[in-house]
Amino acid sequence: MGHYREAFDRARDDREEFWLAAADAVDWISPPTRALDDSAAPFYRWFPDGTLNTSYNALDRHVAAGAGDRTAMVWDSAMVGTVRSYTYAELLDEVSRFAGVLSANGVAAGDRVVIYLPMIPEAAIAMLACARVGAVHSVVFGGFAARELATRIDDAEPVAIVTASGGLEPGRAVEYLPIIAKALDLAASPPSTVIVKNRPEITGDASDHDGWLDWDDLMSAASPVGPTPVAATDPLYILYTSGTTGKPKGVVRDNGGHAVALTWSMPNIYDIRAGDVWWTASDVGWVVGHSYIVYGPLLAGATTVMYEGKPVGTPDAGAFWRVIADHGVNALFTAPTAIRAIRKADPEATELAKYDTSTLRTLFAAGERLDPDTFEWASATLGVPVVDHWWQTETGWAIAANLRGLEPMPIKAGSPTVPVPGYRVGVVDAEGAALGAGEEGSIVIELPLPPGTLTGLWRDEERFVKSYLSAFSGYYLTGDSGYLDDDGYVFVLGRSDDVINVAGHRLSTGSIEAVVAAHPAVAECAVIGIHDDLKGQRPSGYVVLKAGADIDPDTLREELVAMVRNEIGAVATFRDVTVVAALPKTRSGKILRKTMRQIADHEEYAVPSTIEDPDVLADLAKQLGG
Ligand code: COA
Ligand code: AMP
């Protein structure tokens, strides 16, 4: 562990020197003289006296260095059968002009812009254009329904929304404009500017709505604008993610720490450098898409592939292998669910033989645990290292990884390998006492977190402290449980809160419960995440009916599924509803979700000593066959 150990120790012991050296790889308008400002701990700020522009670092600097003809982005849509490439010079032109559109429509530095776009190039262009004018983007995943969008609008208070006529899912078009209209209706203070990219495949365009603006019209008349200098500590984006309550958390990312961390991560973690072809098969609506479809690869001067489609069914289980072959992809980053979906459809990988995937050097996986079975299959099938790494929306980049560029390490199935330099990972028990190797507990990270991690929650300092910093003083609570082994390898076993992970998508059981509880026949309910062979987990609802409620279980299920789809969105994939006589609770009234999950998953469980009525648990176990 030579290079790794040295880097890890330097990041811990010579923090200033380590991160200022990493900051040298970024082009600053005024370079930072200090790495960390810890004067207001536990609120930390990175590179407090630096100024820069993130879009300049992602685009202009490569053009200025003579790489304007290098391909910056390849858009490959399996949904419409189109491939479109942008050189760095072309992408810079698009971004500068859309930045001009934003400025002309009153978007200024510090203003928020909500981006609700499918996987089309305009998503990356809009994000980078916000960065160019110093505005703060907040991208909302297209699988969320109007109410979720409205909640985010109300929290971020954007001055503009950038959207498209819709997204394409296999077999159906998702029309965005009715969703936008409804969200604007629901929002307390809706923005006045709505910009719509018209997609000819999908019904609806700006002209259907009073005052909405057409992307193409605006772009044809736009004047390009240059990068606005911002402080390293100024926010680049807000990304909402699920917490334990129904209200999403607005994770705030800065400009300087983010640029430094992602620039460092590309060669050191992913072994990707200028000119390499990199593909992250995720969605711009998730943190993985922010960091590694858009910012990371462009900061590194690599070519990023943006893919609109699924791993299977668009048209078949060879879709990923085709994209690798067509674009000469050197490394692919995706979620384990995608690999499981391919394996399920094509267990012998017969599709793989049809394509030349010899450019592929590494497959990276994150978003959920890479189970050993899927790891073995992918390794044997692809014949390249399959590398798990662990991170969260909050951290923005990997907490634990096998650092392929710095020093590749032996891979252990089921482990994302070791803490990344800058992250001092520990495991503690309920009282905060450090646990030894092999002992399972809460995974925590010693403060300060490295650059690139969240600087707070949008306008909610109290929740930031309560959610992450107050459980164990001096530590950030990841919300994951797991252990470290004798070699210092991290093993992440799952969330220790009410957040669940469905197909690599992070969802809150609390928000699904809030919808289910609103049904007139439901007295109370619990939603838990149970094991799913394909998606890792899926939400499963248990409802107690109101006395005298007269509704048959199938009708109830249909109504609840429709309500969740309507209120949260298709991405919630809520399908299981079980009517039970009562919910098991502690004497203080807390629902025993963990025990319920163990019963539903047919795992061993212990009857908690605090249980209110043991018979309720016994009845549930009988009903669920546990
Ligand atoms: N816009 C609108 N609807 C969307 C959507 C989007 N961007 N993304 C997903 N949905 C819909 C799907 O169409 C589906 O709707 P349905 O209930 O009508 O079928 C529903 O949300 C659930 O989607 P999903 O859980 O993704 O299931 P799926 O059956 O469509 O696809 C996989 C299964 C495994 C192919 C898919 O989940 C996948 O590719 N996962 C990879 C995970 C990933 O990229 N994670 C990102 C974090 S790294
Ligand atoms: P998100 O914020 O959507 O990226 O989800 C973060 C959560 O996903 C983490 O807290 C983990 O529970 C889970 N997760 C992400 N990557 C991994 C991984 N490699 N192994 C295990 N769990 C993971």
Instruction: Tell me, using a 6 A CB cutoff, whether residue 389 lines ligand 2.
Output: yes
Read off the pLDDT of residues 346-366 as tens digits, 9 standing for 90 and up: 999 999 999 999 999 999 999
**CB environment 153-172: b (16+ within 10 A), e (fewer):** bebbbbbbbbbbbbbbeeee
Closest C-alpha to 578, from 593, 562, 557, 558:
557
The range of the structural domain enclosing residue 231 comes to: 2-309+389-481
pTM to 2 decimal places: 0.97
Phi-psi region of 204 (alpha: psi -120 to 50; beta: other; left: phi over 0): left
Assess whether 158 and 291 both reside in one domain.
Answer: yes
Residues 6+ apart with CB under 8 A from 502: 529, 532, 535, 536, 537, 538, 539, 571, 572, 573
Assess whether 544 and 429 both reside in one domain.
Answer: no
Do the Cβ atoms of 491 and 59 come closer than 8 Å? no
Assess whether 186 and 285 both reside in one domain.
Answer: yes
Domain end position, chosen among 481, 507, 541: 481
Read off the pLDDT of residues 173-183 as tens digits, 9 standing for 90 and up: 999 999 999 99
Instruction: Tell me, using a 6 A CB cutoff, whether residue 508 lines ligand 2.
Output: no
Mutate to test the pocket of ligand 1, among 505, 532, 537, 576 (most ligand atoms within 8 A of CB): 505
340 C-alpha vs ligand 1 centroid, how far in Å?
13
Cα(570)–Cα(43) distance, integer angstroms: 36
Q: Which atom of ligand 2 is nearest to the CA of 492?
A: 21
Cα(230)–Cα(259) distance, integer angstroms: 12
Instruction: Tell me, using a 6 A CB cutoff, whether residue 286 lines ligand 1.
Output: yes
Do the Cβ atoms of 73 and 86 come closer than 8 Å? yes
pLDDT at 1 over 80: no
* Confidence band for 245, pLDDT divided at 50, 70 and 90: confident
Do the Cβ atoms of 47 and 29 come closer than 8 Å? no
337 C-alpha vs ligand 1 centroid, how far in Å?
10
- Indicate which ligand has the atom closest to the C-alpha of 538: 1
> Domain containing 263 — which CATH number?
3.40.50.12780
Residue 347 belongs to some domain of the structure: no
Q: Please, where are the H alpha helices in 14-167?
A: 15-23, 54-55, 61-62, 88-104, 121-133, 146-156
* Confidence band for 626, pLDDT divided at 50, 70 and 90: low
Mean pLDDT of the chain: 97
SS3 175: strand
Residue 301 belongs to some domain of the structure: yes
Helix axes 553-567, 509-517, angle to 10 degrees: 120
Cα(264)–Cα(19) distance, integer angstroms: 10
Residue 492 belongs to some domain of the structure: no
Residue 341 belongs to some domain of the structure: no
SS3 43: strand
Assess whether 187 and 283 both reside in one domain.
Answer: yes
Q: Which atom of ligand 2 is nearest to the CA of 389?
A: 19
Mutate to test the pocket of ligand 1, among 176, 286, 573, 575 (most ligand atoms within 8 A of CB): 573
pLDDT value at position 138?
Answer: 98
Read off the pLDDT of residues 85-141 as tens digits, 9 standing for 90 and up: 999 999 999 999 999 999 999 999 999 999 999 999 999 999 999 999 999 999 999
Closest C-alpha to 362, from 480, 470, 267, 227:
267
Assess whether 28 and 130 both reside in one domain.
Answer: yes
Residue 20 belongs to some domain of the structure: yes
Tokens of 464: 């930031």
User: Residue of the nearest CA to atom 19 in ligand 2?
Assistant: 390
The amino acid present at 374, given as its one-letter code, is T
> Domain containing 568 — which CATH number?
3.30.300.30
- Indicate which ligand has the atom closest to the C-alpha of 365: 2
User: Residue of the nearest CA to atom 46 in ligand 1?
Assistant: 282
Residue tagged 């997609």 (tokens): 199
Q: Please, where are the H alpha helices in 453-574?
A: 461-464, 509-517, 553-567
Cα(321)–Cα(359) distance, integer angstroms: 11
**CB environment 336-355: b (16+ within 10 A), e (fewer):** bbbbbbbbeebeebebbeee
- Residue % of the chain over a pLDDT of 90: 97
Cα(254)–Cα(250) distance, integer angstroms: 13
Closest C-alpha to 406, from 277, 260, 263, 271:
271
Instruction: Tell me, using a 6 A CB cutoff, whether residue 480 lines ligand 2.
Output: yes
DSSP state of 97: H
Do the Cβ atoms of 75 and 56 come closer than 8 Å? no
Domain end position, chosen among 481, 515, 540: 481
SS3 304: strand
pLDDT value at position 216?
Answer: 98
Q: Which atom of ligand 1 is nearest to the CA of 118?
A: 7
pLDDT value at position 155?
Answer: 97
Assess whether 232 and 127 both reside in one domain.
Answer: yes
Mutate to test the pocket of ligand 1, among 169, 290, 391 (most ligand atoms within 8 A of CB): 169
Read off the pLDDT of residues 145-201 as tens digits, 9 standing for 90 and up: 999 999 999 999 999 999 999 999 999 999 999 999 999 999 998 999 999 999 999
pLDDT at 370 over 90: yes
- Residue % of the chain over a pLDDT of 70: 100
Q: Which atom of ligand 1 is nearest to the CA of 313?
A: 35
Question: Which residue spans within 318-464 are E strands per DSSP?
Answer: 331-334, 362-365, 386-388, 400-401, 418-419, 425-428, 441-446, 456-457
Cα(483)–Cα(432) distance, integer angstroms: 14
DSSP state of 483: E
Q: Which of 193-197, 345-349, 497-501, 557-561 has the lowest mean pLDDT?
A: 497-501
Per the DSSP assignment, residues forming a β-bridge with 357 are none
Instruction: Tell me, using a 6 A CB cutoff, whether residue 338 lines ligand 1.
Output: yes
pLDDT value at position 2?
Answer: 80
Residue 331 belongs to some domain of the structure: no
Cα(341)–Cα(372) distance, integer angstroms: 15
333 C-alpha vs ligand 2 centroid, how far in Å?
14
Instruction: Tell me, using a 6 A CB cutoff, whether residue 337 lines ligand 1.
Output: yes
Assess whether 131 and 211 both reside in one domain.
Answer: yes
571 C-alpha vs ligand 1 centroid, how far in Å?
6
Mutate to test the pocket of ligand 2, among 369, 395, 509 (most ligand atoms within 8 A of CB): 369
Instruction: Tell me, using a 6 A CB cutoff, whether residue 142 lines ligand 1.
Output: yes
Instruction: Tell me, using a 6 A CB cutoff, whether residue 536 lines ligand 1.
Output: no
Instruction: Tell me, using a 6 A CB cutoff, whether residue 134 lines ligand 2.
Output: no
Read off the pLDDT of residues 404-436 as tens digits, 9 standing for 90 and up: 999 999 999 999 999 999 999 999 999 999 999
Instruction: Tell me, using a 6 A CB cutoff, whether residue 422 lines ligand 1.
Output: no
Tokens of 14: 């010579």
501 C-alpha vs ligand 2 centroid, how far in Å?
8
Assess whether 24 and 136 both reside in one domain.
Answer: yes
Assess whether 190 and 240 both reside in one domain.
Answer: yes
* Confidence band for 239, pLDDT divided at 50, 70 and 90: very high
Q: Which atom of ligand 2 is nearest to the CA of 400?
A: 19
Residue 165 belongs to some domain of the structure: yes
Handedness of CA 547, 549, 555, 559 (dihedral sign): negative
Residue 489 belongs to some domain of the structure: no
Q: Are strands 277-280 and 249-254 parallel, antiparallel or unpaired?
A: unpaired
Domain end position, chosen among 417, 447, 481: 481
Q: Which atom of ligand 1 is nearest to the CA of 335?
A: 48
- Indicate which ligand has the atom closest to the C-alpha of 395: 2
Angle at 475 between CA 369 and CA 596, to 5 degrees: 45
Assess whether 473 and 550 both reside in one domain.
Answer: no
Instruction: Tell me, using a 6 A CB cutoff, whether residue 335 lines ligand 1.
Output: yes
Cα(94)–Cα(90) distance, integer angstroms: 6
Instruction: Tell me, using a 6 A CB cutoff, whether residue 570 lines ligand 1.
Output: yes
- Indicate which ligand has the atom closest to the C-alpha of 289: 1
Assess whether 504 and 473 both reside in one domain.
Answer: no
Cα(561)–Cα(577) distance, integer angstroms: 8
Number of domains present in the structure of the chain: 2
User: Residue of the nearest CA to atom 4 in ligand 2?
Assistant: 392
Distances (CA, A) of 276 to 70, 86, 125, 304, 311: 10, 15, 21, 9, 22
Assess whether 165 and 223 both reside in one domain.
Answer: yes
- Indicate which ligand has the atom closest to the C-alpha of 571: 1
* Confidence band for 243, pLDDT divided at 50, 70 and 90: confident
Residues 6+ apart with CB under 8 A from 481: 440, 441, 442, 443, 492, 493, 494, 495, 496
Closest C-alpha to 565, from 522, 498, 507, 520:
507
Tokens of 589: 């009234």
Number of separate helices (H) and strands (E) present in the chain: 20, 32
Instruction: Tell me, using a 6 A CB cutoff, whether residue 336 lines ligand 1.
Output: no
